[in-house]
Amino acid sequence: MKANEPDALSKTTRINLLFDFYEPLLTEKQRTFLKYYFHDDFSLGEIAGEFGISRQAVYEHIKRAEQVLESYEGKLGLLVRHESLQQLTVQLVNSVNGLSIAEQDRQALMSVIAQFKLAE
């Protein structure tokens, strides 16, 4: 599914996020094909030409790598946890901004929130 197909952006975003979390757990070939296809936006034909294999073989490698990423996410849930923490951080920032406190105290709280986000 490429950029001109429905929901391609959300799928690409999801795969890229999963890749960020689970890249070290993939084989070198899986990493390479996913990078070419999702990061660099190479077509199946371009990847096939680069590696001297068929487009179908590239497609199968990419689909298998996607399944592996989804399997890791199903077991470890790092992306779900990350998204939950992002939502909680936004809620926390909104709550702090809604408080009737001195600006210095607000900035101190925002600094703590920023440190929390970095530690994530």
Q: How far is CA 2 from CA 6, 16, 40, in A?
A: 9, 13, 12
Q: Are 108 and 96 members of one domain?
A: yes
Q: pTM of this prediction?
A: 0.76
The pLDDT of residue 27: 96
Q: Are 23 and 54 members of one domain?
A: yes
The pLDDT of residue 114: 84
Per-residue pLDDT of the chain (120 residues; tens, 9 = 90+): 444 454 767 999 999 999 999 999 999 999 999 999 999 999 999 999 999 999 999 999 999 999 999 999 999 999 999 999 889 888 988 888 888 888 888 888 888 888 877 666
Q: Print the domain residue range for 69.
A: 8-76
Instruction: Name residue, tokens 């197909």.
Output: 5
> Tokens representing 116?
């929390």
Rounded Cα distance, 15 and 36, in Å: 13
Residue 2 counted as domain residue:
no
Q: What percentage of the chain's residues is helix, strand, coil (to nearest 5)?
A: 80, 0, 20
Residue 3 counted as domain residue:
no
